[in-house]
């Protein structure tokens, strides 16, 4: 069997034609395709504002800045995420802390969050922002987090890098009903891709305006935002300290083409996941738990090994699958155990036990629309043989 990656982009001739057409056009950057992509996101997510950027990391950074995160502030997120979910706060000079995960959903635990907020209030160390992450595409319990935000006074950034195409309480993820800002990622292994790229959505005009400025050097050509009347039609002003986080026209054109297939892509991922669920039911693994009232974007299919029921170790299972040309991965190493976070903030093993246990057992199996049934059967049979090793 040829190598099977854990994730892979789905590119059609229409996608290629869309990008080539931009390359033949007058605009490679700051043209009509970025606004077209933003409008497609707004329509899909039923949200007022969408701002495209060169990565989800950039979008997370700008979101924190728009919410005035800075020196002396505290931001909380989950330890089971890519490091960008935490790093974005550090870029702003804030301090980062974590909330342990729910053992079933692997998302931020609402119970742990509530207990930590109670203690933080007594110590006068409440977070300014909480960043829940929709791990694997399954949405967090955003309504409950929103209720807690009103009680304890924090803002919310949804890290939905895994979750475009999913729904929470029958509404599209990204509509910001229970958050200030939502972030999407369009890396090639994600649900749809712009090669690299991200989008921030919001219902708040002031936040949208601030993020728009910050993604492009803090520069405006809008006379309403200037300190005086423009000197002429050439005039612009830098009114804030921003960054070059803009998305290119080629990326946006690919996104416009891809989002047309978003619903069908998500449906395919669910069909593959359901097939995994059936075929893995008899093995010594825990298949992903899905909340009934939500619809996951299903970016990842993560199993957990029942290590007390099998002889091979977690590492041995992982290496054996890789040796069989199956490109499994592990999402993620707990952020608090990364050397930078241990050395700079004093985090240590034992701080977040649910996250650490997850890390000891989790493996991401291949999941992408072009995964064939033959390839999926090979993954399942190979895993079955490895787990049965005595």
pLDDT digits (tens, 9 = 90+) for 18-58: 999 999 999 999 999 999 999 999 999 999 999 999 999 99
Task: Determine phi and psi for 293, rounding to 5 degrees.
Answer: -85, 5
Q: Where does the pLDDT of residue 386 fall: very low under 50, low under 70, confident under 90, or very high at 90 and above?
A: very high
Burial class (CB in 10 A: 0-12, 13-18, 19+), 311: exposed
Q: What percent of the chain has pLDDT over 90?
A: 98
**What is the distance, to the nearest Å, from the Cα of residue 259 to the centroid of all Cα atoms in its chain?**
17
Residue 148 host element (H or E): helix 142-152
Please measure the distance between the N-terminal and C-terminal CA atoms of the chain and give it in whole angstroms: 24
pLDDT score of 292: 85
DSSP classification of residue 231: S
Helices 84-91, 56-66: axis angle to 10 degrees equals: 40
Tell whether omega for the bond before 367 is within 30 degrees of 0, i.e. cis. no
pLDDT digits (tens, 9 = 90+) for 328-355: 999 999 999 999 999 999 999 999 999 9
CA nearest neighbour of 323 among 254, 389, 266, 229: 389
Rounded CA separation 298/187 (Å): 15
Q: Where does the pLDDT of residue 67 fall: very low under 50, low under 70, confident under 90, or very high at 90 and above?
A: very high
Residue 42 host element (H or E): helix 33-45
Report residue 126 as tokens: 């409440």
pLDDT digits (tens, 9 = 90+) for 245-294: 999 999 999 999 999 999 999 999 999 999 999 999 999 999 999 998 89
Rounded CA separation 214/113 (Å): 30
> Per-residue pLDDT averaged across 357-380, rounded?
98
Which residues, 6+ apart, have CB-to-CB distance to 177 below 8 Å? 142, 171
CA nearest neighbour of 378 among 301, 271, 390, 386: 386
Q: Which residues pair with 364 in a beta bridge?
A: 302, 329
* Torsion, CA 263, CA 268, CA 270, CA 273, rounded to 10: -160
pLDDT digits (tens, 9 = 90+) for 174-218: 999 999 999 999 999 999 999 999 999 999 999 999 999 999 999
Distances (CA, A) of 89 to 226, 229, 240: 29, 36, 19
What is the Cα gyration radius of the chain? 22
pTM (2 d.p.): 0.97
Q: Which residues pair with 248 in a beta bridge?
A: 29
Three-state DSSP state, 230: coil
Rounded CA separation 232/252 (Å): 31
Three-state DSSP state, 210: helix
Rounded CA separation 66/81 (Å): 22
Examine the pLDDT at 390 and tell me if it is beyond 80: no
> Per-residue pLDDT averaged across 305-326, rounded?
98
pLDDT score of 139: 97
> Per-residue pLDDT averaged across 295-321, rounded?
98
Sign of the torsion angle spanned by Cα atoms 30, 32, 33, 38 = positive
Distances (CA, A) of 344 to 39, 100, 120: 41, 20, 21
Q: Which residues pair with 302 in a beta bridge?
A: 364
Tell how strand 155-159 and strand 294-295 pair up: unpaired
Tell how strand 129-131 and strand 74-77 pair up: parallel
């Amino acid at each position: 069997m040829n190598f099977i990656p854990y994730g892979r982009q789905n590119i059609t001739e229409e996608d290629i034609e869309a990008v080539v057409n931009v390359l033949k056009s007058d605009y490679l950057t700051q043209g009509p395709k970025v606004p077209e992509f933003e409008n497609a996101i707004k329509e899909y997510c039923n949200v007022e504002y969408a701002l495209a950027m060169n990565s989800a990391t950039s979008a997370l950074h700008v979101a924190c800045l728009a919410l005035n995160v800075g020196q002396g502030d505290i931001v909380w997120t989950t330890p089971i995420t890519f490091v960008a979910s935490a790093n974005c706060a550090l870029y702003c000079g804030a301090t980062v802390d974590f909330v342990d995960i729910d053992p079933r959903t692997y998302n931020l635990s609402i119970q742990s969050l509530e207990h930590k907020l109670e203690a933080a209030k007594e110590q006068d160390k409440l977070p300014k922002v909480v960043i829940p992450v929709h791990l694997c595409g399954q949405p967090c319990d955003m309504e409950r987090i929103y209720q807690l935000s009103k009680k304890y006074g924090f803002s919310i950034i949804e890290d939905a890098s895994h979750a475009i195409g999913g729904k929470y309480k029958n509404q599209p993820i990204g509509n910001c009903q229970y958050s200030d800002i939502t972030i999407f990622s369009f890396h090639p292994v994600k649900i749809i891709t712009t090669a690299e790229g991200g989008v921030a959505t919001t219902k708040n005009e002031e936040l949208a305006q601030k993020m728009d400025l910050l993604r492009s050097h803090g520069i405006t050509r809008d006379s309403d935002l200037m300190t005086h009347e423009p000197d002429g039609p050439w005039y612009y002003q830098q009114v804030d300290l921003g960054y070059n986080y803009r998305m290119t026209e080629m990326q946006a054109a690919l996104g416009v083409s891809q989002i047309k297939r978003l619903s069908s892509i998500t449906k395919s991922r669910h069909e593959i996941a359901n097939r995994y669920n059936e075929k893995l039911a008899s093995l010594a693994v825990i298949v992903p738990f899905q909340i009934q009232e939500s619809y996951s974007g299903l970016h990842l299919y993560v199993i957990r090994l029942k290590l007390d029921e099998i002889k091979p170790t977690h590492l041995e299972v992982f290496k054996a699958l890789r040796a069989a040309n199956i490109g499994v991965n592990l999402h993620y190493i707990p952020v608090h155990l990364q050397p930078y976070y241990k050395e700079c903030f004093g985090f240590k093993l034992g701080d977040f036990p649910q996250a650490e246990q997850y890390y000891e057992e989790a493996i991401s199996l291949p999941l992408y629309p072009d995964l064939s049934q033959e390839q999926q059967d090979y993954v399942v049979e190979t895993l079955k043989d490895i787990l049965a090793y005595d």
